Every structure is written in structure tokens, then in C-alpha cells.
A and B are shown apart, each in its own frame.
Chain A
């Protein structure tokens, strides 16, 4: 199976805060690692989830894939062709749409919906498929009333703005849609509507989706595969069902355990994950998760874990993944942290 979008060993670092003298001498300023040796591939027609806390680098990866921030190492390729220069990204952007977390803020505040929704055609020199009626047709496709075309972004509700951005994302018939927190800030029933809309498009048009979120419930229900990111590094990836049933990285397990249960009978007394994600300014040595990891041992602070392929479609980066795997085998659901 050839990948639609392939992210191979990508790293991204930025100039860190420099002192006076370092500022004057190029190359001496400290570098901050934002993304490190990330590999990820999205197959045609696949829905891939990318999860992690804020500060894990999820949105940065999405922006790097669109060429909005430059990568400093590794390779990107789209539809089998390497993506390096600006013209390559022009092609990527014609075949990939990016939906932002804040749908209202991703629309130009002083232009009407009707003008913005047809922008992809204008920008890429494609004539409007249905002329003046295009905007209305596009709105109807995502279940919005034609009257909304005359509104300004601040006059839309959260759910409506999200639908407008879906409509705009679909304009050029992309092969891939990258959706950054597509359900953030929406009411539960509206969340479900947006997810259904995306699943329907995938089914009808064979679109691939990369869904970036910290909401595990969303990932669990709509994605085929899930990748877990922590502080710019991949912690684990694999088929969604397997990862949720038997998470191998302690971070994944903590995330799953942190989900609030909408059932008072399932309340948990213990706290799954203490503390906060460290700053990229103070990246922990060895395994970056060891400062918060319930399983951490001295080795974790000293030695960086290498990616371990458990099966061809399951990766984990943890020194003790093998132990965890043998322990949790045999009917354990793996959502508790008791050992």
C-alpha cells in the first residue's frame, strides 16, 4: 500500500532564546527541538488520529506538512513525489486542505462567507464549477442554509463556522484533509454531527483524514489508526482498536485513563497523570516522558528508547514495552495502571 502523504524521520528545530553575544555570532544560539525524528504515513482513504497534549507538537506537524513552517530534517512526500521546494508545496496544498482549530478565526473577518468559500478556486485559477451558484451548492453539501452565504464569520455559530471550513476544505476535491481539533468547543450533539459529516465524506469521496485532537473519544470512534505524540516525538502508533484495547506506552495509558467518565459508577479515585508536559526549553534527557512516567526507572533518564515494531503496524517507543506487552496479555483491558 503506497502512502498518500509520507512523513519520514522529520525533525524541526527553532532558534532558542539567545543571549546578547550569541545573537551576534550565527550558529551559536541554542536550538530548540520541536519535532524530532517523526515518521507517519497516511494511506489513501484512511482516517488517522494524532493525539497528545497541547505542546506536544501536533499542530506544528500539520503546519509543516502544509509548508507553513519549514522542517530542518527528514523527508516529506505527497502522492509518491518528494516535497521540498515551494512549487512542491503548491501541489501539496492543492491536494490537501487544512482545517484550523478555531474555525471562526480561520475565516477572514471582513469578508462574507460567499466570498471566502470559493477562494480555493480563485486562488488556484480553477473556474467556478457552477458559476455564481457554487457558493450555495457548497454550503448545501455540508448541510448549511444558502442564506448563510451572506453572513460574516462573526455572525456564525461554532458549528456553522466549522461546516463552512469543511466546505471550503472540500472545494478542490482534495485527497487529504488535515483537521486540527475539529470538535473543540462544540456542543456534544454538534460534535457528533461534524464527525458524521467527515465520516460520510470519507465514505463517499474516498478522502483521507488526519485528525489532530486531544479528545480521545473522537479518535476512538472515527479513526482507523492512531498515533500518540509526546513533546515532539512519537510515543506509539497502531490500529485504533488495538491501541485503545491494549496501550503499550505508559503515556497512552495515562491519556486513556484521564478521560472523564460520563458515568458516576465508573469514577476513579486515583489520578492517572500528574504534572504538566515539560517545556521544549527544558527537554528531559533520555525518554522525554520519564519525568511523569509511573514506570520510570533510572535507565529511562539516561537512555533514549528506540522505536520498537511490535507488529508491522504497531510501533512503540518505550524501554519496557515488551514487559508491558507480556503483562497485559490475556483479557486485561489495559486501562488501569495497577501493576
Chain B
């Protein structure tokens, strides 16, 4: 029969993909947190004498057009990438949960208004919207985070709203109402725990998308301002100097690909671990 408490961590570690994704993500997190100790050089230190150096013992990943150590820039770039993506998806996720619960559980008119707002935001082409906001506020890391938050909220809120709507019609919510439970109690104790897990999956799958978005906007000089190391900036520098040093583009691409795979694997494993249908089944 069913065993005692189900252990999310154990379920996650039972999946080979989960272990792989977890390891990659953990490596990036360590890189981001301990960048000053891990990075062999100062990522901003210019050394024109050694520009466009290929990989060597001194510079494992080579140097860029200003002779800055690429490996150090990539390590510091992880800070930017994770900082931006985790902050942005975190805030957007929280706002999405709140708005989604209100829309799904609250009165019909409020739901209609919120849906209208979500539709308005989603109907704008994302790049156009981003360009508009950045033009007004000026390119900076904070603006970048703001743009990402604004464009992500409607998706999360709709996701939570759909889940909330179906849960609101379920027996256990009606049972709570029949016991006089307040709306706050129903939302916080009964709806939230049942929708939060699924959103976590969506968020972890979205982090690589945001990392790419940050890299993309930075590449277009609309995101993180140089000289701050960001994978997008490195990619841009590499692209500009493709002739002199083709290795740079590849070096900047590798962390992007790895981060995408890492978070996606983790998200998939999380989804399997959280899915009650894949939990222990009773026999006979």
C-alpha cells in the first residue's frame, strides 16, 4: 500500500534527468555565488597585449578583443544571467499566483477585468513592447528585469487561474465552504498548495527562456550595459570579432546551451515527481 510521506527530493533524485539537470543548475548557482573566488581574473581587466588569445593554460577559454579573460567573464556572466532570470521569474511567478488566484476564485467581474488586462499585455508583440519600455526608461539591468516581469505575468496568471477554476468546483473546496471557511483560508490553505507546485515546474522551465531573452536583449544592446559581463554581451563581442577569433562565439554559446538543458531537465523531472498519477499506485 501507499508508503508514508512522499519525498519530493527522493522522487527527483530517482530520475536520471533530474540528477543531471540538478547538477548543471547547481554548478551555475555556485559559479554565480562564488564568482570572485572562482574566476581566475578580474572580468573587467583590460590587457590589450593579449587580445584574441586562443585557449591556453593561462586563459582556459582565451581572451576577447580587449584581452579580458573569457572564462572569468563567462563565470561573472552567470551572475547576471541567474540574477536577472531568477529575480524576474520569481517576482512574475508571485504576481502571477496572486492575480491568478484572485481571477479564478474571486467574483466573475473581477475575473473579466483581469483577463482583459492579461489579453491586452499578451496582444502586444513582445519585442515591440520591450523596445518601447526600454526606449522610455533607458537600457539597464533593472529595466530588463521589469520588462521580463511585465511580459511573463499574464502567462503565469492564466495558468494559475485555469488550475484555480477547476479546483474551485472540486468537492474539497465546497466542503470547506460548507464548514464556513473564509475566502482567505480557502485561498491560502487549500488552493495555493495545490497550484504552487505546478507553477514551480513552469517557472523552472521558463528560466532558460529568460536567460536567452536577457542574452538576446543584451546582444541587441538593449539589456545589460557593457562592460558588465553578460552572456549576451560576450556573444555580441564574439560576433563582432568573428573573423579574428571564431572561438569566442562558441565559448559564449556553451553556457547558454548548458543552462537551458539544465533547467529544462530539472523542470521535467520536477513535473514527473509532482504528478500524483506517477506516484505509487495501489495494487489489485
Contacts and interface: CB of A to CB of B under 8 A. Distances in A.
Are chains A and B touching in the complex at the 8 Å CB cutoff?
A: yes
A108 B178 contact: no
Given A100-B175, A123-B185, A154-B276, A108 B190 contact: yes
A105 B180 CA distance: 18
Contacts, number: 65
A68 B177 contact: yes
A124 to B, nearest CB: 6
B4 interface: yes
Contacts of B178: 66, 68, 93, 97-98
Contacts of A123: 176, 179-182, 185
A66 B171 CA distance: 14
Contacts of A151: 2, 4
A90 interface: yes
Nearest to A165: B175
A98 B177 CA distance: 10
A101, A106, A152: residue with the most chain B Cβ atoms closer than 10 Å: A106
B193 interface: yes
Contact of B174 (A100, A110, A120): A100
B273 to A, nearest CB: 14
A93 B194 contact: no
B60 interface: no
Interface string B1-45: 110111000000000000000000000000000000000000000
A109 B172 contact: yes
A98 B175 CA distance: 7
Contacts of A53: none
A108 B172 contact: yes
A107 B172 contact: yes
Secondary structure dominating the interface of B: helix
A119 B181 contact: yes
Contact of A90 (B4, B172, B180): B180
Contacts of A93: 178-180
B171, B185, B193, B194: residue with the most chain A Cβ atoms closer than 10 Å: B171
Contacts of A68: 174, 177-178
B176 A108 contact: yes
A2 to B, nearest CB: 24
Interface string A94-136: 1001101110011111110000000110011000000000000
A305 B176 CA distance: 39
Query: How many residues of A sit at the interface, in one of the four size bands?
Result: 20 to 34
Contacts of B6: 152
B189 interface: yes
A155 interface: yes
B284 interface: no
A110 B194 contact: yes
Contacts of B166: none
B123 interface: no
B170 interface: yes
Interface string B187-198: 001100110000
B275 to A, nearest CB: 13
Contacts of B279: 154
A66 B190 CA distance: 20
Contact of B193 (A66, A110, A155): A110
A68 B180 CA distance: 10
A152 to B, nearest CB: 8
Interface string B84-125: 000000000000000000000000000000000000000000
Contact of B179 (A111, A120, A150): A120
A102 to B, nearest CB: 6
A111 B276 contact: no
B189 A111 contact: yes
Contacts of B190: 108, 111
A314 interface: no
A75 interface: no
A68, A93, A102, A110: residue with the most chain B Cβ atoms closer than 10 Å: A110
A193 B53 CA distance: 82
A155 B174 contact: no
A63 B174 CA distance: 9
B256 to A, nearest CB: 36
Given A68-B178, A94-B180, A102-B171, 4 more contacts: A110-B194, A119-B176, A119-B181, A154-B279
Q: Which 5 A/B pairs are nearest by Cβ-Cβ distance?
A: A155-B2, A105-B171, A106-B171, A98-B178, A106-B175
20 contacts: A63-B174, A66-B178, A68-B177, A98-B178, A100-B174, A105-B170, A105-B172, A106-B172, A107-B172, A108-B176, A109-B194, A109-B276, A110-B194, A111-B189, A119-B181, A123-B181, A123-B182, A124-B179, A154-B276, A155-B2
